[in-house]
A = this chain, B = another copy of it.
Amino acid sequence: MSSAIASGQPMRVVVWGENVHEQEQQEVRDIYPHGMHGAIKEGIEENLGQRAVVRTATLQDPEHGLTEEVLRDTDVLVWWGHAAHDQVADDVVDRIQRHVLAGMGLLVLHSGHWSKIFGRLMGTTCTLRWRSKDDREIVWTVDPTHPIARGVPHPFIIPAQEMYGEFFDVPAPDELVFLSTFSGGEVFRSGMTYRRGYGRIFYFSPGDQDYPVYHQQEVRRVIANAVEWARTDRPERTSPVLLRYEREDFYNGHGYAGAMSN
């Protein structure tokens, strides 16, 4: 095996932060003095140490910091957005989708459920019920052997949180890892995996600009586990293609190669 994983190369992670609440609201800046993306980055580094090299990018960067060059060198992209989903340029969304289908891992956090990239990959409205009133959230593991649940207490408690409740309009997940309940009695499928193309996606709902959720140890552990899980080990960054194969030649496709070009 000459793969990146086998050779022990650290994984390359980009945490993307919308970085709007932190700029506009003092109370968010108080909770997240280095930005929400900063706190998420710290949590990954704290858990993965030398196993990961973590960078950040934000909405305000040229091309939102997600150029072709950056994505080509990214094993896993972590996404946090909320107030400015519609300001993410469509061609950057195209690019991210292409990279996910070609093998880049993607973590979508909390309000990222309504981001353009998540909607694209799910095909549904990705809507839900919500309330921001200091609910207590309890996170339960229902897939105890899943690598994303490794070392995560069952259950763990987030003292105050925004409520996200069902019906969450997403496809049935490939794996349902976590369920959350809220003081008000609502429930949410809070940790779910999806494979799309050659890429792996994890949606995780805990986390909000008004609560210090990304400073909490258990949440950081889940995100770090998910980063490791989402990394694939593809030899190259290419997406599936449409090809014609002659009989008895199983390996040399030819003709059409234009995936997603229609």
Give CA–CA (A241, B125) in the complex, Å.
8
Within 8 A of B (CB), among A178-213: 179-181, 183-187, 189, 194-200
Q: Are A242 and B123 in contact (CB under 8 A)?
A: no
Expressed in whole angstroms, the minimum distance between the Cβ of A112 and any Cβ of chain B is 11
Q: Is A232 an interface residue (CB 8 A)?
A: yes
Give CA–CA (A121, B119) in the complex, Å.
10
Give CA–CA (A194, B116) in the complex, Å.
21
Q: Are A179 and B197 in contact (CB under 8 A)?
A: no
Q: Are B3 and A151 in contact (CB under 8 A)?
A: yes
Expressed in whole angstroms, the minimum distance between the Cβ of A232 and any Cβ of chain B is 5
Knowing A85-B262, A125-B241, A129-B243, the reply to whether A195 touches B145 (Cβ < 8 A) is: yes
Q: Is A70 an interface residue (CB 8 A)?
A: no
Give CA–CA (A197, B218) in the complex, Å.
23
Q: Are A253 and B200 in contact (CB under 8 A)?
A: no
Instruction: Indicate the size class of the contact surface on chain A.
Output: 35 or more
Expressed in whole angstroms, the minimum distance between the Cβ of A217 and any Cβ of chain B is 13
Write out the residue numbers on chain B whose beta carbons fall within 8 Å of the beta carbon of A172: 143, 174-176, 195
Quickly give the copy total for this chain: 4
Q: Is A127 an interface residue (CB 8 A)?
A: yes
Give CA–CA (A173, B248) in the complex, Å.
28
Within 8 A of B (CB), among A213-262: 232-234, 239-248, 250-251, 253, 259-260, 262
Give CA–CA (A141, B97) in the complex, Å.
22
Knowing A197-B125, A245-B129, the reply to whether A151 touches B116 (Cβ < 8 A) is: no
Q: Are A260 and B128 in contact (CB under 8 A)?
A: no
Q: Is A79 an interface residue (CB 8 A)?
A: no
Q: Are A125 and B259 in contact (CB under 8 A)?
A: yes
Q: Are A133 and B250 in contact (CB under 8 A)?
A: no
Write the residues of chain A forming the contact surface with B, with a CB cutoff of 8 angstroms: 1, 3, 85-86, 97, 101, 103, 114-116, 119-125, 127-131, 133, 136, 138, 140-145, 150-151, 153-155, 157, 165-169, 171-172, 174-176, 179-181, 183-187, 189, 194-200, 232-234, 239-248, 250-251, 253, 259-260, 262
Q: Which 8 A-B pairs have the closest CB atoms?
A: A169-B240, A125-B259, A127-B242, A121-B123, A184-B247, A85-B262, A127-B259, A127-B240
Additional 19 contacts, C-beta under 8 A, given A115-B262, A129-B244, A140-B186: A97-B123, A103-B145, A119-B262, A124-B196, A125-B197, A125-B241, A127-B240, A127-B241, A127-B242, A130-B242, A130-B244, A143-B195, A144-B198, A165-B245, A169-B239, A171-B171, A174-B175, A185-B250, A187-B187
